[in-house]
Structure formats: structure tokens, C-alpha cells
A = this chain, B = another copy of it.
Amino acid sequence: MDRYSQINESISRYVTFSQEELDILNSQLEYREVPKKTIMLHEGEMCNFEAFVIKGCIRKYYIDSNGHEVILQFAIENSWVSDISFSIYEDRPSHTFIETLEDCELLIFSPESKEELFKQAPRFERAFRILLYRNLAVTQDRLFNTIAKTAMDKYLEFLDHYPSLPQRVAQHYIASYLGISAEFLSKVRAKIAKN
């Protein structure tokens, strides 16, 4: 199976592209294997990549000045990860980290290669806008859940949404994603197990 088949299928989901256009896309991507527990973006650094996950799992997280760590995203197969917060609140840099949790196979855009893609095949602007739209909708949904739901409901919804992750990543990462303590998640799971 070809290295680009997943990304081509993923990007074709909402916009149809010719083989020629897909070739341009593929030519702008760099394939990279990254071993697990590699920090790809350190705090304070500017994120100069956008990665599509062919295989593996990545977490993106913030740490604030009080040491609060929150996982903002798990990126698994067929999803994208990057940091876009750099330019928003210039005064207080958002201490974002991006770290592989498993050995990963990635396809990587640099800012330049993405621009070059848009230049050579402008219809990709549209596809990436739609992807972004969906990303925003998911984030809003998650914000709502975080505010309105109990820990139990949040965890059940998480299982629904990412059924494979509890087998793949440490439980305290899931707790951090859900915005609850690792201990309390453990108690929630105990309660679920009893029924």
C-alpha cells in the first residue's frame, strides 16, 4: 500500500481532485518516521510543520504558568496535528508541546511547502478550509461537553469517540484530555466496571 493513499483519500472526502493535483500534493509532503516519546514541538518554539498521521499517535498539550497541563488533542491515523496558537496572544506565548506517544509515520508540510501547494493547485485552499471547519466544530463540541457534562458522561462519550485510545495511551493522558484528575478517572472507571 502506497504511502500517500490515506492522505489522498482523506483530502478527497469533501473536494474531488484530479490525479495530477494529488501528485502535486504528494510532491510537497515530506515522509518522516518519528520514534515514540519524541517531542516534536517544545514550549516557546514556533511550530514550523503540519503533520498528517499515517500511523501512530501524537498528543498536543499546553502547560500554563501554574504548571497545569491539558491535552488539547490526540492525533491518530488520518488526522492532522499542528500548533496554530503562536500568533494569537503574542504577549503570553502559549506553551504548547507536541509529542509522539507511539512510533509514528507522518507526512509533513512546512509552511513553505503548503504555500507552494496552494500556489500550484489553488483548489486545495478549499479542502483545507473545510477540514478546518470540521476541526472547529469538533473543538466547539468538546468545549460544550467540558462545561456541561459530568466526568462520567465525558468519559463515556470519549470511549464512544475514540474506542481504541484507552488501549493505546496511558490513562492519565485521557484524564488530562477530559479535564479531570487521573485519580478521579480511575474511580469513574471502577464505577463503570461495577455495572
Residues A136 and B134 in contact, CB atoms below 8 Å apart? no
A118 → chain B closest CB, angstroms: 7
A28 → chain B closest CB, angstroms: 17
Scan residues 111-152 of chain A and give those whose CB is less than 8 A from a CB of chain B.
118, 122, 125-126, 128-129, 132-144, 146-149
Decide yes or no whether A94 CB sits under 8 A from chain B: yes
User: How many angstroms from the CA of A129 to the CA of B127 in the assembled complex?
Assistant: 10
Nearest chain B residue, comparing its CB with the CB of A146? B146
For the complex, count residues of A whose C-beta is within 8 A of B: 36
User: How many angstroms from the CA of A139 to the CA of B140 in the assembled complex?
Assistant: 7
Nearest chain B residue, comparing its CB with the CB of A67? B148
For A94, the chain B residues whose CB sits under 8 A away are 141, 144
A78 → chain B closest CB, angstroms: 16
Interface string of A13-51 (1 = CB under 8 A from B): 000000000000000000000000000000000000000
User: How many angstroms from the CA of A66 to the CA of B149 in the assembled complex?
Assistant: 9
A interface: dominant SS: helix
- Which of A89, A128, A144 has the most chain B CB atoms inside 10 A of its CB? A144
A143 → chain B closest CB, angstroms: 5
A134 → chain B closest CB, angstroms: 7
Nearest chain B residue, comparing its CB with the CB of A132? B132
What are the 8 A-B residue pairs with the smallest beta carbon separation, nearest first? A147-B179, A68-B148, A125-B125, A129-B129, A88-B137, A132-B132, A84-B137, A136-B136
Which residues of A are in contact with B by a Cβ distance under 8 Å? 62, 64, 66, 68, 70, 72, 84-85, 87-89, 94, 118, 122, 125-126, 128-129, 132-144, 146-149, 179
22 residue pairs of the A-B complex, CB under 8 angstroms, read A62-B144, A64-B144, A70-B144, A70-B147, A84-B133, A84-B136, A84-B137, A85-B141, A87-B137, A88-B138, A89-B141, A94-B141, A122-B122, A129-B132, A135-B136, A139-B140, A139-B143, A142-B143, A146-B146, A146-B147, A146-B179, A148-B179
